[in-house]
């Protein structure tokens, strides 16, 4: 088995072979992603949308994140498992961030955490790093700030917001984040940010010049059939395949085709004569 990925080994891949990150939310998805060769498994707060059925990521709790982090951590043998700090679990300050991250690490078993935001969350980032918890940054489209950003849309198209994204990413890298996610920013801006940072950038909707890529597993597999952002490439249609398989099961039950004799257990039926009703 290949060596276990750590925050340090991920950082060292800056400018090298592209990092592969996928989200995972439970044992089977983590196993699938790791068997596929993912370097990093992110227990994303996208959990809220693709697994729990919420319209956005805002309502997922630390308790729910811990529950899913546990399952992913049990499955991972080689990949670095990163847990997302959910909305309002770190904004209040370093103490809150430390308490929340501590739960994902100690109870959930993750080896690193991710939080959204730039310079405004540096005190939290610093506190986590001081405590020995590796931190992944996340700038550009930050879904937890959906209300302020005005929807799921590309960020950094004008020079003021592009500069702000660059400054935020630089600040996170200089603070010691081991990687920074760039979500939904123009490819040209992601290229400039990637060149400027010591930390590897991991893009989603940020072009091919980042140091790595991340996608939501349920999007890749066609298991999430709600929002379909343009930056998603579906490599399978497991939602459709699953429905077809389940419909075949339902039809066979109704037709008396399933279960067949091969799915059951035999006995010496003479013994039935000994039974009294």
Q: Would the annotation count 45 as a binding residue?
A: yes
If you ran DSSP here, which 8-state letter would residue 261 be given? G
Give the end-to-end CA distance of the chain in Å, rounded to a whole number: 58
Residue 45 touching Na ion (CB under 5 A): yes
Of 39-47, 123-131, 167-175, 234-242: span binding ligand KIV (CB under 6 A)? 39-47
Question: Binder to ligand KIV among 39, 45, 168, 211 (CB under 6 A)?
Answer: 45
Query: Whose Cβ is closer to ligand KIV: residue 63's or residue 244's?
Result: 63
Decide whether 115 or 197 has the Cβ nearer to Na ion: 115
The span from the CA of 96 to the CA of 116, in Å, is 15
Place of tokens 């290949």: 2
Q: Is 266 helix (H, G, I), strand (E, B) or coil?
A: coil
What is the smallest separation between the CB atom of 48 and Na ion, expressed in angstroms? 9
12 Cβ contact list (under 8 Å, min separation 6)? none
Q: Please report, as residue ranges, which positions from 206 to 265 form the binding site for ligand KIV (by CB under 6 A).
A: 214, 216
Which partner from the list Na ion, ligand KIV, none does 60 bind, CB cut-off 5 to 8 Å by kind? none
Give the burial class of 6: count Cβ atoms within 10 A of its Cβ; 0-12 exposed, 13-18 middle, 19 or more buried.
middle
The stretch near ligand KIV (CB under 6 A) out of 40-48, 165-173, 224-232, 241-249 is: 40-48
Reported as half-sphere exposure (CB side, CA atoms, 13 A), residue 8 has a value of 3
Q: Which of 74, 78, 73 is nearest to 9 (CA)?
A: 78
Among residues 75, 96, 80, which one has the least CA distance to residue 39?
80
Applying CB under 6 A, does 29 fall inside the site for ligand KIV? no
CB atoms inside a 10 Å sphere around CB 187: 14
Minimum CB separation of residue 183 from ligand KIV in Å reads 6
100 binds, among ligand KIV, Na ion, none (CB under 5 to 8 A by kind): none
Count, residues near Na ion per rule CB under 5 A: 3
Active-site residue among 183, 225, 237, 244? 183
Does 60 sit near ligand KIV (CB under 6 A)?
no
Instruction: Say how far residue 27 (Cα) sits from the centre of its chain.
Output: 13
107 is catalytic: no
Binding site for ligand KIV (CB under 6 A): 23, 42, 44-46, 84, 181, 204, 214, 216
Residue ranges of the binding site for 3-methyl-2-oxobutanoate: 45-46, 84, 114
By annotation, the residues acting in catalysis are 183
């Amino acid at each position: 088995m290949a060596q276990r990925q750590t925050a340090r080994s991920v950082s060292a891949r800056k400018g090298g072979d592209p990092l592969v990150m996928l989200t995972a939310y439970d044992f089977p998805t983590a196993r699938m992603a790791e068997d596929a060769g993912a370097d990093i498994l992110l227990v994303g707060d996208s959990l809220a949308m693709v697994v729990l059925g919420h319209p956005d990521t805002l309502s997922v709790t630390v308790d729910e994140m811990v529950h899913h982090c546990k399952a992913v951590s049990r499955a991972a043998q080689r990949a670095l498992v990163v847990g997302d700090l959910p909305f309002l679990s770190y904004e209040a300050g370093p103490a809150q961030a430390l308490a929340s991250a501590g739960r994902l690490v100690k109870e959930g078993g993750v080896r690193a955490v991710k939080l959204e935001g730039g310079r405004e969350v540096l005190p939290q980032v610093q506190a986590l790093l001081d405590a020995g918890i590796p931190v992944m940054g996340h700038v550009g489209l930050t879904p937890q700030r959906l209300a302020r950003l005005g929807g799921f849309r590309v960020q950094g198209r004008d020079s003021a917001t592009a500069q702000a994204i660059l400054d935020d990413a630089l600040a996170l890298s200089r603070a010691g984040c081991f990687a920074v996610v760039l979500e939904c920013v123009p490819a040209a801006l992601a290229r400039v940010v990637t060149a400027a940072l010591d930390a590897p950038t991991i893009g989603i909707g940020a072009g091919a010049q980042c140091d790595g890529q991340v996608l939501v597993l349920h999007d890749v597999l066609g298991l999430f059939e709600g929002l379909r952002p343009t930056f998603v490439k579906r490599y399978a249609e497991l939602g459709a395949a699953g429905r077809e398989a389940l419909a075949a099961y339902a039809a066979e039950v109704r037709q008396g085709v399933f279960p067949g004799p091969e799915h059951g257990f035999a006995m010496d039926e003479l013994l039935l004569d000994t039974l009294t009703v």
